Amino acid sequence: MAAASTSWVGQGARWGRLAGRELTTVAITIFGLLLVTFFIARVMPIDPVLAVVGDRAPADVYEKARLDLGLDKPLWMQFAIYIGKVFTGDLGRSVLTSNLVIDDLRTVFPATLELATLGTLIGVIIGVPFGVFAATHQGRWPDQLARIVGLFGYSIPVFWLGLMGLLLFYAKLGWVAGPGRVGVAYQDLFDPITGIVLIDAALQGEWDAFRDAFSHLVLPASVLGILSVAYISRMTRSFMINELQQQYVIAARVKGVSEFRVVWGHALRNAVVPLVTVIALSYMHLLEGSVLTETIFAWPGLGRYLTNSLLNADMNAVLGGTLLVGAVFIGINLLSDIIGRLADPRAR
């Protein structure tokens, strides 16, 4: 009994030290992110006062706005004020939309989250089995097919793929809805509870709106999903080839374990740890790299919002979006690290 208690205490202490290290790393990373965005705002050749009052404001109005923004204070004090504002959700006001940046981000980020999540799910559901199949048939036609699919996914420009998808599946065949997130007739049928249209429509029982939203979502998500399939299948193949050459696989086969169990029960289980990191990287790439897809499909997401803000020198919006993307990256990295440790018995 005493030995078991000591074991639990030791395990708790180890997890406590691990949590402490992770939290310290996260805190340092967030501080670095805040520092970088703060200095970006200071070195950009854009006067933040003019962005607020306009270039025709009188001198006294300009000076009052400069004092209100704290630009007369020392740089370290400006940084402290900036940190305080960020942690209270004050990211300033967008010049482009005249809304608070935090309100704009609450509107556009769920759209990108919805798009990237479905794209990643497509990548995982198709890419992982495809990669496993290629690894177990190395050098044969399934392996060659996987390489061709990977090459296709890496080589085809996203904008061309999106335009061809719209031309074929929307304009010619009429299988899916066109650009936009939901049809005009369905926009006011449900309240934006989470900001994710599929979830909001389902929660409120608006199934016609759900089907319409899914019809709008499936094509842009599939375009992103092709990129995700190419990356995930390629990495899965590489991890599985490495695992299938290990001694424990040879021993399992000698003992007469079925090939299905060897591949899916043993090799893939050990390949899950690095695969979690690969899926997280793919998800992060889709979250911040879907600008062209959102532009082609008129998808009101974060990428499109940041692009428009950057083109209009709306630095509050650009920096607010950058902070959001950085925070999401940190969160996903932390979550993937935790899942990897839980999935790896050696780490446990």
Give 88-100 pLDDT, tens digit per residue.
888 888 877 888 8
Residue 178, token pair as written in the block = 């066109």
Is 80 exceeded by the pLDDT of residue 53? no
The average pLDDT across 326-337 equals 84
Is 60 exceeded by the pLDDT of residue 2? no
pLDDT in tens, 293-314: 888 888 888 888 888 887 777 7
Could you give the percent of the chain with pLDDT greater than 90?
5
Do 264 and 236 contact (CB within 8 A), yes or no?
no
pTM to 2 decimal places: 0.82
pLDDT of residue 122: 92
Is 70 exceeded by the pLDDT of residue 54? no
Long-range pairs for 162-171: beta carbons < 8 A, 24 or more residues apart: 162/219, 162/220, 162/223, 162/292, 162/293, 162/296, 162/297, 163/296, 165/219, 165/222, 165/223, 166/219, 166/296, 166/297, 169/219, 170/219
pLDDT band with cut points at 50, 70 and 90 for residue 124: very high
pLDDT band with cut points at 50, 70 and 90 for residue 20: confident
Largest CA distance in the chain: 86
Is 90 exceeded by the pLDDT of residue 195? no
**The residue count for the chain:** 348
The average pLDDT across 267-280 equals 87
Do 98 and 206 contact (CB within 8 A), yes or no?
no
Is 70 exceeded by the pLDDT of residue 3? no
Q: How far apart are CA 346 and CA 113, in angstroms?
A: 33
Residue 347: how many other CB atoms lie within 10 Å: 11
What is the helix (H) or strand (E) element at residue 265, kind and residue range?
Answer: none
Any idea which of 191-200, 208-217, 335-344 has the lowest mean pLDDT? 335-344
pLDDT of residue 10: 61
What is the architecture of the domain spanning 101-343? Orthogonal Bundle (1.10)
The average pLDDT across 184-211 equals 84
pLDDT of residue 9: 62
Cα-based distances in Å from 47 to 55, 96, 104? 10, 16, 22
pLDDT of residue 261: 87
Burial status of residue 108 (CB atoms within 10 A of its CB: 0-12, 13-18, 19 or more): buried
More confident residue, 220 or 155: 220
Is 90 exceeded by the pLDDT of residue 121? yes
Token look-up 């990977």 returns: 150
